[in-house]
Every structure is written in C-alpha cells, then in structure tokens.
Amino acid sequence: MRAGSRWYCVGIVRDITVQRAREQVLCEEKDRTDTLLRIAARLNGSIALDAVLDALCEETARALQVPAAVVFLLDRHRGMLVPARSFGVPEEVRDCLPCIPLPVYERELRKQAPPVIAVPDPVLRAGEGFWKSTPPERPPPRALASAAILHEGGVLIGSLDVVMFDAPRTFSPGELAFLGGIANQAALAVVNARHFEELTAYERRLQASLDEKTALLKEIHHRVKNNMQVISSLLSLQGRLIENSAARECIRESVNRVKSLALVHESLYRSESLAVVDIGAYARRFADDLVQSYALQAHVSVTVETAEAITFSGDTAIPLGLILNELISNSLRHGFAGRDRGGQSRSGSPGCRTTGSSSSTGTTASGCPPGRHRPATGDPGGCSSSGSSQHNLEGRSCSGQGNPGRSSSSSSPPASRRRW
C-alpha cells in the first residue's frame, strides 16, 4: 500500500499452535484407530489361544514402542494372575515373571481409573515379594502400565502389561487409552479362543467315546458271530453221527439258518456304519455258502442282481436272511432234483425284494417238499420259518409258475412304516 511517497505493508498474524496441536492429535488418533483395527483383525484371525496371546504381546510392544509386553491370565483356583505369554522377555527372565495376587490387582484398579492403571513400582516388585530372583547380570523387569482384560459385565479374565528393563517411562493419557483399547480387542479374541479350545476338547472326548463304542459294537457282533459259528460247528458234528437221512436233513437246515444269522453279524461288524447290511453282498455270499453246503457248486450257478445298493438294518436283515435261506435251500433241494445242472437268479429293488429260482424241472407249489407243513397264514412263498420271518417284516410273498421252473417273491414295507 502506497501513501504519498511511502509504501506500507499490512499483514495479519495468527497463532495456529493450537490448531496444529489438534491436527496432530487427530492424526495420532487416526493412526491408533488404524492400528487397533489391524490388531483386531490379526487377533480374530487366530483360533489357538497361544497364537492369540503371542500376537497380542507382539502388537502391544510394537504399538507402544516398548521392549516387552506380558499377558497375565486369571487362575481362579489360585486367585492369581498368572503369566501366560510374553514378547521381548529373555528366556532366562521369563521364568522369573511373578504371579500377581488378585486382591492386589483389584486394589490398584479401585485406587486408579480402571481399566488401565499405571503400576506403582513397589506393588509388583520386591516390596510385595512377588518377583522371583532374577539373574544378577540382568535387572528385573518393571511393569509400567497394565490394562485389565475385561469380559462382558466387567468380569476380569486377565491383564496386558507393558514392561521395561531399564529406566522407567511415563505414558501419556492417550497412550494409556490406546493400551486399554488393545486390551478391549484382546478380551473378545481370548474368550473366542478359549471357547474354541473347549469345543475342540469336547469334540476330542466325543470322538474318543464314539470310537470306544464303535469298537465295543464291533466286538459284540464279532463275538455273536463266533458263538453262532461254534453252534453251527457243533450241529454239523452231531449231524455226522446221525444215520437217519430225514433227521440229518433237519440238522443241515438248522446249520444253514444259524449261518444266515452269523453272516448278518459278520456283515455288520465289517461295515463302516455298523448299522446297515448291504443285502446284495450278503445274498451273494450266503447263496454261495448254501450251494457249497449242498455240494452243488460244480453244477449250479447263482446270480444275484440288484438295481442299486440296497441296505437294511440288522433288525430287518436277520429275518430277511432266514427268508433267503428257506427259498434258496428249497430251490437247491427240490428245484434241481434229478438234474445235473441249472441256475438260480436273485434280483432286488428298493421297493420290492424278489427271489426266484429256475431250472429244467419244476418244483412243488410252495417250493417245499410234498407233505411239508405250510404257514398257517396261507403264505405260499415258503415253509414255516420263511412265513414266520415274513410275518415279522409285516410283508407278503407269492409264488408262480416260471418258464421253466417256479418263481417266488417277497416284499415288505420300509422299517419306518412297520408296527413294532
């Protein structure tokens, strides 16, 4: 500005010290918030408790620029805060970390502004006798500040301490609040990690119990099968001493029935589920055993066909095995009488269980020998044992003339629709 022959300069001076201080505080708050978010993401990204505590100590020491940090967890049985994990504490000093009595820590929390306290030097050191002896060449660590790790409802579960080994350091209110924020993030991570450990331990106990019961069930089925094999062997030995052919035939029928039951238990303990039997595999093996029992394996072939994998529970497989025994045995005894060769076929589907036999000569109407007793229910599909087993399954059976030979079929409703 010019006035006459002179020039004048006008300026306005403002003190922006306060504004700069506020901007610096805002920048620090932003940095701390970003750090808290990063720490929270790292803590919640781990599920093992030791990994969570190690990450907590490391992030705390780096964020507050201190040489070491220690996490104490509450042992309610002892009434002490016990050092759990640490960062930056030498191994020879780590064993000297104290256990803090809970009443002492709670007293300090009441005296100062919780949940973050500046730890007085005598409280956690030799004045109270909590520190163990440290190596003479190393000074004992000093806990400068401690943040209580509080669960929902203000329940104390531990503390997060920052530690120095040389001259003490004073923390600003902002740094103490920052330490409290880290402890708040740690509370949820520690609780979640503990819940995960409890759940994992429970699952291990549950799996061990399941394995034990599975082994027990397998052993039971195995022993039942062995006992039935002993019974079958005793009957076979007795049958060899009988000269009457009719009585010997009855013994052989009993042996085959016992084998059908034993094979069910063997199939159960060999299966993965221990609850169901693959009826296709069962029928194939049982039919082969029956063919060998009648010494017809050189002349008679047995084919078992299933539309898909058909499984039954043990309660259903046992009477079904007896039905298969009667139908296949009748076919072998009477369907191939006077013949030197022939074949049998067995087929099944989820809705109907069908068994049939065919040869170049016919059988009697029921598949039983002439004069053999038929079921009182009028079921023409088998003999008395077959009819009784069919009745247990609440099913029905029928037979008809095949070309050549005869065929018989049996069906039963699903187990869920039966009346027990």
pLDDT tens per residue, range 306-338: 767 778 787 888 888 888 888 888 877 776 655
Q: Taking a C-beta distance cutoff of 8 angstroms, is the pair 265, 284 a contact?
A: no
Please tell me the distance from the alpha carbon of residue 278 to that of residue 311, in angstroms, as a whole number. Answer: 5
Hey, which residues does 161 pair with through a beta bridge?
70, 146
Pairing mode, if any, of strands 116-118 and 353-358?
unpaired
Please tell me the distance from the alpha carbon of residue 268 to that of residue 25, in angstroms, as a whole number. Answer: 73
290: left (phi over 0), alpha (psi -120 to 50) or beta: alpha
Q: Taking a C-beta distance cutoff of 8 angstroms, is the pair 337, 300 a contact?
A: no
Q: Taking a C-beta distance cutoff of 8 angstroms, is the pair 159, 143 a contact?
A: no
Q: What is the DSSP-derived secondary structure letter of residue 311?
A: E
Q: Six-digit token pair at 77?
A: 């049985």
Strand locations in 198-341 (E): 276-278, 300-306, 311-313
Q: Six-digit token pair at 85?
A: 């994990």
In 3D, which of 386, 311, 393 has the Cα closest to residue 355?
Answer: 386
**Sign of the alpha-carbon dihedral angle for 173, 174, 177, 183:** negative
Give how far Cα 4 sits from Cα of 10, 35, 274, Å.
16, 62, 114
Q: Is the pLDDT of residue 255 over 70?
A: yes
pLDDT in tens, 381-407: 344 455 555 555 555 555 555 555 555
DSSP-based three-state secondary structure for 144: strand
Question: Would you place residue 290 in the very low, low, confident or very high pLDDT band (cuts 50, 70, 90)?
Answer: confident
pLDDT in tens, 261-277: 888 888 888 877 777 88
Average pLDDT for the chain: 74
pLDDT in tens, 337-351: 555 555 555 445 444
Q: What is the pLDDT of residue 201?
A: 92
Pairing mode, if any, of strands 68-75 and 353-358?
unpaired
Q: Which residue has the tokens 């069919």?
A: 390
Q: Six-digit token pair at 157?
A: 């579960």
Question: Would you place residue 177 in the very low, low, confident or very high pLDDT band (cuts 50, 70, 90)?
Answer: confident
pLDDT in tens, 197-217: 899 999 999 999 988 988 888
Question: Would you place residue 360 in the very low, low, confident or very high pLDDT band (cuts 50, 70, 90)?
Answer: very low
Lowest mean pLDDT among 58-72, 174-188, 282-296: 282-296
CA–centroid distance for 232 within its chain: 40
- What global pTM score does this model have? 0.56
Q: Stretch 112-118: mean pLDDT, rounded? A: 69
Hey, which residues does 370 pair with through a beta bridge?
none
Q: Taking a C-beta distance cutoff of 8 angstroms, is the pair 170, 141 a contact?
A: no
